[in-house]
Chain A
Amino acid sequence: MSYVIAGYSVVFATLGAYAGWMLRRRRRLSRSLGVGSGRWRP
């Protein structure tokens, strides 16, 4: 079972870390460019 726990942990920890990095970077960039989250323009 330890291999199973290791497999699940690697997947969810990596995805969580990647998503967290992305959201933090987006928030930082939005703030520095003066773009509010409600003013999203594709």
Chain B
Amino acid sequence: MTALAHPPPHPGPLGWLLRRSGVLLRVCGLVALAGLGATVVLGLWLTPQDRVMGNLVRLLYVHPPVAWVAYLAFGVTAVASLAYLWPRTRAPFWDRLAAASAEVGVVFCALTLATGSIWGRPTWGVWWTWDARLTTTALLLALFVGYLALRRVTVDPDARARRSAVAGLVASADVPIVHMSVLWWQTLHQAPTVLRPGFGDPTLATPMAWTLLVSFVAFTLAYVWLVGNRYRLAVLEARQEDEGLQLAIAERLAEAGPGGGSRPVTVGVS
């Protein structure tokens, strides 16, 4: 029996998932695209206006789903960071997943603030106010921008992964504070409509609730697609980093003289 030249780096269900990630991501991307198209059609044309808010209610189909994805992304970063810090599960996979999810989360968090601001102007009369929900969300965005900056300043892959995992966990602690801020403090922002304690009581008309459901599913699938592709990009970036390092070491050894150039150069893929 011969051993595999390149054994799969992730055995078990995770390895299976990663090996089939190309097909799964393609399917996920197509379903997400169809779902986002359906959200636009349902949200802009087919759902009714609100008695109080009029057409502004149509922002309901983008603002809460985008905020939910930001929560989800930062939650995934926290779980992946914890898995990286845990000695039994430590693997570059968790570090890359945490980074990919944080970057996508930053995009969605910025969109949450932008759509909230667009909704706030006609409803509250201001683009921005130092309300507890808005302020904690802005803080969340700043924390994760800091997390991404930290990833860029550290060169050593192990140190970077460890420091980032701690930073990711600390930053994620703001997610429950953002969510509960409307219940803990008096705010201009309304209390949660969907993700609230006592979820059973419906507060939305049926067509609106269905459109919101389609939108939540579509944005969640879009998140999966974006994180999957960002993860693959991170793998390529790591390979490029290693190739650059190999080249630099080879050049230094060549400069050192004929004896130095014969030494083997080995750089492990992080």
Contacts and interface: CB of A to CB of B under 8 A. Distances in A.
Nearest to B54: A1
Q: Which of B15, B18, B36, B232 has the most CB of A within 10 A?
A: B232
Contact of B240 (A11, A14, A32): A32
Given A3-B56, A11-B115, A14-B107, A30 B62 contact: no
Contacts of B239: 33, 35
A7 B118 contact: yes
B63 A7 contact: yes
Interface residues of A, number: 26
Nearest to B17: A42
Nearest to B65: A11
B22 A40 contact: yes
B143 interface: no
B122 A3 contact: yes
Nearest to A37: B22
Interface in B191-244: 222, 225-226, 229-230, 232-233, 235-237, 239-240, 243
Interface string A12-42: 1011001100110110011011010100111
B148 interface: no
A37 to B, nearest CB: 8
A19 B107 CA distance: 11
Nearest to B29: A19
Contacts of A41: 6
A37 B1 CA distance: 31
Interface residues of B, number: 43
Interface residues of A: mostly helix, strand, loop or mixed?
helix
A17 B115 CA distance: 17
B176 interface: no
A19 B227 CA distance: 10
B111 interface: yes
Contacts of B43: 8
B240 A29 contact: yes
A18 B235 CA distance: 18
B36 A12 contact: yes
B170 interface: no
B114 interface: yes
Given A4-B56, A6-B118, A11 B232 contact: no
B10 interface: yes
16 contacts: A3-B121, A4-B55, A4-B56, A6-B118, A7-B62, A8-B40, A11-B115, A12-B40, A14-B107, A15-B226, A18-B226, A22-B233, A29-B233, A29-B240, A33-B243, A42-B18
Given A3-B122, A8-B58, 13 more contacts: A8-B43, A8-B44, A11-B62, A11-B115, A19-B229, A22-B229, A22-B230, A26-B233, A26-B236, A37-B22, A42-B8, A42-B15, A42-B93
